Amino acid sequence: MKKSTHTLAYDACEAFFLETGLMPTIETIKSIIEINSPTTISNAIKDWKQALSQSVKRNQNTNPETPDVLINAINGIWEQALLEAHNALKQHTVELQESKNALALKESALNGEQKAIRHLVQLTEQKYQEEIIYLKKELNRLSIESTTSTEQGERFRAIASEYDKKNAILNEQLRQEQDKYYRLEKQYENEHSWSLKRIEEEKNNYKQQVQNEISRLQSEASRNRQSNEVLQAKLELVIEQLSGAKVLRLTNGANSAGACIAGALPHRTTAGKSISGRHSSGLLLSSLRFSGSVRMARFFQQAAAA
């Protein structure tokens, strides 16, 4: 069975006294039993000293022949034990007072902390009460807003339902319009194809008419060229008869340029140098009077009229 701290301290006092002959102290007993319990050790030392004193008294009463030296030694030990016990008690009392003062300080601090905690609790409760009041107001406001939102939602659902109906009507109208559009588009394609075909026919007819007209004009131009050549021959013949000169015809292009360079023109000499002579148009249009000019002009007019 495990011994208590008091029993261990009591036995340690006995062993220490028998081994050293000295009175045990709290420090020595604490180092022997290796337990830090000053109050229990002090009580054990006090009990051991009382037991020692009672043992000495019993020995004095039962053995009257005990030597005075031993009795004096025992009494000295007893007085020393009482003194040490008194000192230990005094020290213990001082420690208790110090502990009491420390506890009083702690109690004062705890009271201050308790007051602070109470004040903090009051502030917290007040804050919570304010928050509760605020939350109640917010709850009422949110409840009103929720009711309003619910009413608005009902109105919106009614409006959405009405819009759905209108949308269905519009979709039906759109479908009908699309069908109408498809029919018109098909009709347009058919008419367009017919129109394109008709246009192509008219274009071909017009091309044929234009081709015929071009052929007619070409034939007429050919006849006119032939008439012009006949008139040109008659004119050359008249010029030769009236002037006694030989008429030579120059072609366009390089021959005309060669005639200009060779000096074969009335108003040009060799190398195309300009002179004061006049060409045939200049002679006919000028104010000069020469024999046969009036008759030549009349002939030109009659030839042109023919």
Over residues 174-183, the pLDDT tens digits come to 889 888 888 8
- What is the tens place of the pLDDT at every residue in 130-142? 889 999 999 889 9
In a domain, 302, yes or no: yes
In this prediction, the residues of the chain whose per-residue pLDDT falls under 50 are 62, 254, 287-294
pLDDT for 287? 47
DSSP result, the chain: -PPPHHHHHHHHHHHHHHHH-S---HHHHHHHHT---HHHHHHHHHHHHHHHHHHHHHHHHH-TT--HHHHHHHHHHHHHHHHHHHHHHHHHHHHHHHHHHHHHHHHHHHHHHHHHHHHHHHHHHHHHHHHHHHHHHHHHHHHHHHHHHHHHHHHHHHHHHHHHHHHHHHHHHHHHHHHHHHHHHHHHHHHHHHHHHHHHHHHHHHHHHHHHHHHHHHHHHHHHHHHHHHHHHHHHHHHHHHH-PPP-PPPSTHHHHHHHHHT-STTB-GGG-B-S---HHHHHHSS---TTHHHHHHHHHHHHH-
pLDDT for 290? 45
Range of the structural domain that residue 107 is part of: 5-127
Single out the residue in 106, 127, 148 at which a domain terminates: 127
In a domain, 305, yes or no: yes
Single out the residue in 83, 103, 127 at which a domain terminates: 127
Single out the residue in 127, 150, 181 at which a domain terminates: 127
pLDDT for 88? 74
pLDDT for 292? 46
How many domains does the structure of the chain reveal? 2
pLDDT for 62? 47
pLDDT for 112? 87
